[in-house]
Structure 1
Amino acid sequence: MKQFDITTDAEQLVGEVFTGLHSGGGRSSIPGGQTAANLALSNLQLRGYAKDRSEVLPLDSRGATVMSPYVRHNIISLSTLWDVAGKAPQYDRDKYRDELLWQEYARHLYARIGKKLFSNLRFEQTWDAPGDGWPEGMACVDFALDELHQDGWLVNQTRMWLASHWSVRNGKGWLHGQERMHQELIDGSRAANLLGWQWTVGSGNGKPYGFARWQVQKRAPELCGSCALKSACPIEKFPADRELSPVATDPLLSFDPSPEITTGPRVPVQVNKPDLVLLTIESLGDSDPAMAANPDLPVAFVFNEQALAKLQLSSKRIYFYLETLQDLATRRDLSVYLGDPVEFAKANKVAVTHAPVPSFGKFQTLAEVHPYPWLKLPHSGSVKSFSAWRGKLR
């Protein structure tokens, strides 16, 4: 376990502490931290969101809010955004809340089925040709990849373009494509990224999203006009329809026999009096329940060295985490380490907020566990589709 000074310049930390633990890629223009998140929230404008959320170019026509990096780490909660949306015009409010519910659906699904989300959920998707599914030369794909590599963030429309182009158009395995995207996205949630790819390539709903020139001309017409392939467009027409065969679905998609396990504790559970608060990557905001309940305790965060070595995330993601922790350190007594968070929890009496992800199950010796800040509590009914899940919400 190696402790380091979080107040050290982030570039120095990335170069010295995280050597060999990231894949490079610079720093995003989207800053991490509660202060940055609060500023983004204060500037949030939802008027016109429903109409413009899928616009790509020109940039000033975009309606996407760029709140997802803060939502992913619960720096800004879904509940906070739900309340803010109540002040927007009805159509924009309803559409934005639909998107918040989609994020919550992804969390519920992942909390229930865990790593099974890495497998085809409901329909067989057998594309698995070798090689890169994003060949260079098409202005639309190149533009989306440039944004992904530069800022680690994309509007939902271009995420769908890239996922469809990788698998539906070029026949590459969706798991490899989603891994490439997950490395770069500063809002890279396993739940949301896996679910988005499953639905785009058809393994979630049986209807692959066909990426074609029509979408580019509608959402970013200037890209077609400047493309070297505009007279011989590889995506001039939609890809041929393809019926996907249903797969044997996991019974957990239909019914959860233990929703209380999926949900986690509904009230704080204390085994011992904690000496400090341990934050996880799932909850880094000032309103983290464990941290809020223990305002006088010191706080710790442990970068998972083994996981970082395996995942080789973009340095943009490392910078975002460091910026978030550096910002928090201006308000709380914070210690930051590189090592194994599970071993750290074994060696210390920690209070932590429950996280609805498979890796949280590795924690066995926790002094105090606080409820996860759900927007909607998980239920035991079907999660086979967004509509089926939503219909069972209380």
Structure 2
Amino acid sequence: MPEFPQPDRPTVPAPPTLQGVPLAWPTAAGDLPRQFPSRAALAAELQRQFPAALGPGPDQPAEAGLSPIPGGRRAAEARLAAIEPGHYGSSRNHMDGAVTRLSPYIRHGVLTLAEVRDAVFAWLQRSGRPRREAEKLINELGWRDYWQRLWRQHGEAIWHDLEPLKTGHAPSSYAAELPDDLRQGRTGLACIDGFSAELSETGWLHNHARMWLAAYVVHWRRVRWQAGARWFLQHLLDGDPASNNLSWQWVASCFSTKPYLFNRANLERYGGDRFCRGCRAAAAGTCPFEASYEQLQARLFGEQAPARSPSDSVGPPVKGGAAPAAALPSPARPVLWIHGEALGPANPALRAHPGRPALFVFDDALIAGHTTTTSGDGAAAGGAASPLNLKRLAFLQECLLELPVTIRRGDGAAELLAFAQRHGADAIVTSAGVDPRFEAIRARLAAALPVQVLTPEPFVALKEEETDLGRFGRYWRRAEAKVWAGFPGHGA
């Protein structure tokens, strides 16, 4: 079963003041602040800088623009040190289970998959536990790697159905936009409204809650999965189009053999009665989930069989993601392009050129929800703007404060070229990115300056002929042994 990223509340509090690490180069007009007396002050500054972002209402304090999950390597390392792979494997599906809470940090490269993999191996060695106790967690890290590889392979096509729906309904019968009662958490169903509120107020949801909410959006309300996927990406701190979109497609049945459903018994098994005991629909006997799976199948899809049984293929790939960059000699005076997929010390550009001027740019168009990609962000998802939640920006800012990087806003390529000129750079060095926007920006930069793209340590190294991915099972049959070959006790 695929897994939406699933953070939880952290146990490490954010520091009372936020001081960015010192820079070895001068600041310039237009640079964003890198120190704040409090998290609330950081949120207030970002709200001033980005009024188009989804922030707290006028009668709410600045703190309402913050997630309880703080950004940064310090918080990430604390979470990493607290993982319990054995408990994770046995309880991860439960709302109060021992989830890792690492996904926001993994999504933004604060922690790499390779670092988490090695931490799991270290836990096995330290604890003396058998390998099988960590296999589920390693498998779930594989899902993240798999989604990223699919994104690189298919590019913007992840915003389109990779396979036909298996619901028996025509794609045109699904609404293009998310209904307001869902977005505002007032459907009258305690579980759905609780999930919606938690999504917008904290920037996270447990994996099972994401699946339940996605199933309700697509199958009960008959809304296109793209609209739901955009909604999640607006709010989730770990919002990643690959993990997010392809999990939505798995629920919708355009990247799985059948649609994903749940009923009240499933909700109570993994979530307890926290929602049902206070739900008016449950009390009135009108809960739409109070049925067997056979009854729900007939009610939602009729008696007809799935439209088709797919093969292991996901269809012909559409080229996307970052193209391989030609090898370049090591530049003498580079500037470093830091992007949102590599906000940690394992960033290979930071490692290769310590002390060189580095820049991160908050993309105004992306924050306002006016992206111009060739598919789902616009036409394929309904066309409405999808501004990002301020909580996502605050999380990114907290990550950036722990790196030696100048922070600006605007058009990424234009800001990077101006930064390079200001520092007399002979090249731009960056880390590889999967998002198709990365390649678009790289191409614009390369028209003016050499761009060197460095690749971080992979979760698993696969040969080119092994990257015809198909379903996760095909990928994992090729990857699993290679992953575990890095564990000193892999024969155990």
Are 2:478 and 1:392 aligned?
yes
* 1:187 alignment partner in structure 2: 238
Work out whether residues 322 and 436 of structure 2, in 8 Å CA contact, stay in contact via their aligned partners in 1. no
Q: Distance in 2 between matches of 1:46 and 1:358?
A: 33
* 1:230 alignment partner in structure 2: 282
Residue-by-residue CA offset, 1:99-140 (whole Å, 9 max, x unaligned): 100000000000111000111111236251363583522222
Deviates most, 384-393 or 208-217: 384-393
What TM-score comes out, normalization by structure 2 length? 0.72
The structure that has the greater radius of gyration is 2
The SS at the match of 2:214 is helix
Q: Distance in 2 between matches of 1:178 and 1:23?
A: 20
Work out whether residues 122 and 249 of structure 1, in 8 Å CA contact, stay in contact via their aligned partners in 2. no
Work out whether residues 268 and 370 of structure 1, in 8 Å CA contact, stay in contact via their aligned partners in 2. no
Q: Distance in 1 between matches of 2:203 and 2:189?
A: 20
| One-letter amino acid of the counterpart of residue 4, structure 1 | L
Are 2:259 and 1:208 aligned?
yes
Are 2:67 and 1:28 aligned?
yes
Mapping for residues 114-263 of structure 1, pairs under 5 Å: 114-124=155-165, 126=171, 127-129=173-175, 131-132=179-180, 134=182, 136-223=187-274, 224-231=276-283, 232=285, 233-237=287-291, 238=293, 239-240=296-297, 242=301, 243-246=305-308, 253=314
| One-letter amino acid of the counterpart of residue 113, structure 1 | H
Q: Distance in 1 between matches of 2:214 and 2:411?
A: 33
* 1:316 alignment partner in structure 2: 391
Residue-by-residue CA offset, 1:52-76 (whole Å, 9 max, x unaligned): 10111xxxx3211110000001111
Alignment equivalent of 2:45, drawn from 13, 35, 50:
13
Q: Distance in 2 between matches of 1:273 and 1:2?
A: 26
Q: Distance in 2 between matches of 1:119 and 1:222?
A: 36
Alignment coverage as a number of residue pairs: 383
The SS at the match of 2:204 is coil
Task: Flag the 1:21–1:230 CA change in 2: closer, same or farther, 3 A.
Answer: closer
Are 2:118 and 1:83 aligned?
yes
Q: Distance in 1 between matches of 2:267 and 2:202?
A: 21
**RMSD across aligned C-alpha pairs, in angstroms?**
2.8
* 1:300 alignment partner in structure 2: 359
Work out whether residues 65 and 390 of structure 2, in 8 Å CA contact, stay in contact via their aligned partners in 1. yes
Q: Distance in 1 between matches of 2:107 and 2:119?
A: 17
The percentage of counterpart residues that share the same residue type is 25
The SS at the match of 2:151 is helix
Are 2:408 and 1:341 aligned?
no
Are 2:79 and 1:40 aligned?
yes
| One-letter amino acid of the counterpart of residue 197, structure 2 | D
* 2:89 alignment partner in structure 1: 50
The SS at the match of 1:277 is strand
Deviates most, 106-115 or 383-392: 383-392
Q: Distance in 1 between matches of 2:140 and 2:323?
A: 21
* 1:93 alignment partner in structure 2: 134
* 1:73 alignment partner in structure 2: 108
Mapping for residues 261-276 of structure 1, pairs under 5 Å: 264=324, 269-270=328-329, 272-276=331-335
| One-letter amino acid of the counterpart of residue 307, structure 2 | S
Cα drift, residue 276 of structure 1: 1.9
Q: Distance in 1 between matches of 2:329 and 2:220?
A: 52
* 2:372 alignment partner in structure 1: none
Q: Distance in 1 between matches of 2:160 and 2:318?
A: 21
Work out whether residues 182 and 189 of structure 1, in 8 Å CA contact, stay in contact via their aligned partners in 2. yes
Task: Flag the 1:270–1:281 CA change in 2: closer, same or farther, 3 A.
Answer: farther
Work out whether residues 149 and 184 of structure 1, in 8 Å CA contact, stay in contact via their aligned partners in 2. yes
Structure 2 unaligned residues grouped into runs of 5+: 1-28, 57-63, 370-385, 421-426, 483-492
Q: Distance in 1 between matches of 2:333 and 2:189?
A: 55
Residue-by-residue CA offset, 1:197-255 (whole Å, 9 max, x unaligned): 0111111013111121011110122222222222312111232154443599998x467
| One-letter amino acid of the counterpart of residue 354, structure 1 | A
Work out whether residues 122 and 204 of structure 1, in 8 Å CA contact, stay in contact via their aligned partners in 2. yes
The SS at the match of 1:356 is coil
The SS at the match of 1:3 is coil
Work out whether residues 283 and 353 of structure 1, in 8 Å CA contact, stay in contact via their aligned partners in 2. yes
* 1:283 alignment partner in structure 2: 342
Task: Flag the 1:367–1:174 CA change in 2: closer, same or farther, 3 A.
Answer: closer
The SS at the match of 2:359 is strand
Structure 1 unaligned residues grouped into runs of 5+: none
What TM-score comes out, normalization by structure 1 length? 0.88
Task: Flag the 1:313–1:258 CA change in 2: closer, same or farther, 3 A.
Answer: closer
Residue-by-residue CA offset, 1:256-276 (whole Å, 9 max, x unaligned): 7999x86846x9644743432
Task: Flag the 1:247–1:213 CA change in 2: closer, same or farther, 3 A.
Answer: closer
Q: Distance in 2 between matches of 1:162 and 1:339?
A: 34
Q: Distance in 1 between matches of 2:264 and 2:323?
A: 43
Work out whether residues 346 and 456 of structure 2, in 8 Å CA contact, stay in contact via their aligned partners in 1. no
Task: Flag the 1:94–1:258 CA change in 2: closer, same or farther, 3 A.
Answer: same
| One-letter amino acid of the counterpart of residue 316, structure 1 | K
The SS at the match of 2:50 is coil
Q: Distance in 1 between matches of 2:319 and 2:230?
A: 30
Task: Flag the 1:77–1:147 CA change in 2: closer, same or farther, 3 A.
Answer: same
* 2:98 alignment partner in structure 1: 63
